[in-house]
Amino acid sequence: DAGVTQSPTHLIKTRGQQVTLRCSPISGHKSVSWYQQVLGQGPQFIFQYYEKEERGRGNFPDRFSARQFPNYSSELNVNALLLGDSALYLCASSSRPVGQDNEKLFFGSGTQLSVL
């Protein structure tokens, strides 16, 4: 079975531009979470979607938005890019909604976004 897949793997944008990152969860997984990881730090929670509904949102500005499609794939959109948005964006899927006991996240390899 394929793991969590993300595209693109690398992306270079300039300040003010908009970007869309894509994620396909493991087959059968209905929950997708997005995390931002800045070099040298741990991942920071951005969103969780389950059954196409937003279940949680981290402390990120409204420039960040996401959605989940009927096939459970997901997109993360970031508008008006800032230099500080440069990071590794990780998508993770799970079979159940995160926020309960014993959930296990399966991460993709991420999209490395560079904002110049």
Partner 1 sequence: GQSLEQPSEVTAVEGAIVQINCTYQTSGFYGLSWYQQHDGGAPTFLSYNGLDGLEETGRFSSFLSRSDSYGYLLLQELQMKDSHSYFCAVGAYNQGGKLIFGQGTELSVKP
Residue 43 in the binding site for partner 1 (CB under 8 A): yes
Biggest distance spanned by C-alpha atoms of the chain: 41
Distance separating alpha carbons of residues 22 and 41, to the nearest angstrom:
23
Token pair 């904002």 is found at: 115
Instruction: Find the binding residues for partner 1 in span 78-107 (CB under 8 A).
Output: 88, 90, 92, 97-107
Residue 26 in the binding site for partner 1 (CB under 8 A): no
Q: How far is the CB of 6 from partner 1 (least distance, A)?
A: 9
Q: How far is the CB of 62 from partner 1 (least distance, A)?
A: 16
At 52, the amino acid letter reads K
Residue 45 in the binding site for partner 1 (CB under 8 A): yes
Residue-wise over 61-74: b if at least 16 C-beta within 10 A, else e? eeebbbebeeebbb
For partner 1, the binding residues (CB under 8 A) are 3-4, 31, 33, 35, 37, 39-45, 48, 50, 55-58, 88, 90, 92, 97-110, 112
